[in-house]
């Protein structure tokens, strides 16, 4: 009889403790304003293959915002943008304002933008946030090999 009472008490205490647990309030749903999809931190397509940096290093200094990422073992991508640019479209031939660098052989050789465009969608210079898109043709200086970047996007807090 003592075992039955003990068992009933344990079940009762467990039932009360479970019933007393309050369900956590649901987390608010995060939404993106309609009209413009949220841009990725740093993503691009190179010769038809899409890449997105899972770890992106962002630096700010000397009037430049620099974002760089390594994908896999040997693929490095970096973009450098002047922190003075306002929203608008820019040509990569203006080397003082922006540049893209890429290496695919563990930093032995590198490619840099020889043509292309950068569109800054927004730039909040007070909150240090810049976002936009880019495309470019990259050329390797050692042999003039080229790679085409399309669908490039960035959303950086610096």
26 occurs within a structural domain: no
35 occurs within a structural domain: no
| Of 113, 110, 115, nearest in space to 75 by CA | 110
| Of 148, 134, 142, 146, nearest in space to 39 by CA | 134
30 occurs within a structural domain: no
3 occurs within a structural domain: no
In terms of residue numbers, what domain contains 74? 42-157
141 occurs within a structural domain: yes
- Cβ atoms of 9 and 17 closer than 8 Å: no
CA–CA dist 131, 136 (Å, integer): 17
2 occurs within a structural domain: no
DSSP 8-state symbol, 33:
P
pLDDT category of residue 32 using cuts at 50, 70 and 90: very low
pLDDT category of residue 108 using cuts at 50, 70 and 90: confident
The pLDDT tens digits of the residues spanning 12-26 come to 333 333 334 444 444
Number of domains in the chain: 1
Task: Give the contacts of 142 (CB within 8 A, at least 6 positions apart).
Answer: 109
pTM, entire model: 0.71
pLDDT category of residue 40 using cuts at 50, 70 and 90: confident
46 occurs within a structural domain: yes
25 occurs within a structural domain: no
């Amino acid at each position: 009889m003592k075992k039955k009472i003990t068992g009933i008490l344990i079940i009762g205490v467990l039932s009360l403790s479970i019933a007393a647990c309050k369900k956590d309030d649901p987390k608010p749903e995060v939404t993106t304003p309609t009209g413009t999809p949220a841009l990725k931190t740093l993503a691009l397509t190179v010769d038809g293959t899409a890449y997105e940096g899972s770890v992106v290093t962002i630096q700010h200094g000397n009037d430049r915002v620099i974002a760089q990422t390594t994908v896999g073992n040997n693929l490095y991508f970096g973009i450098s943008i002047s922190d003075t640019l306002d929203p608008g479209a820019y040509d990569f031939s203006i080397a003082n304002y922006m540049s893209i660098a890429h290496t695919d052989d563990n930093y032995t050789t590198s490619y840099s933008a020889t043509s292309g465009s950068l569109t800054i969608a927004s730039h909040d210079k007070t909150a240090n946030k810049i976002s936009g898109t880019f495309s470019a043709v990259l050329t390797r200086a050692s042999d003039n090999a080229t790679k085409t970047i399309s669908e490039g996007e960035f959303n950086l807090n610096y």
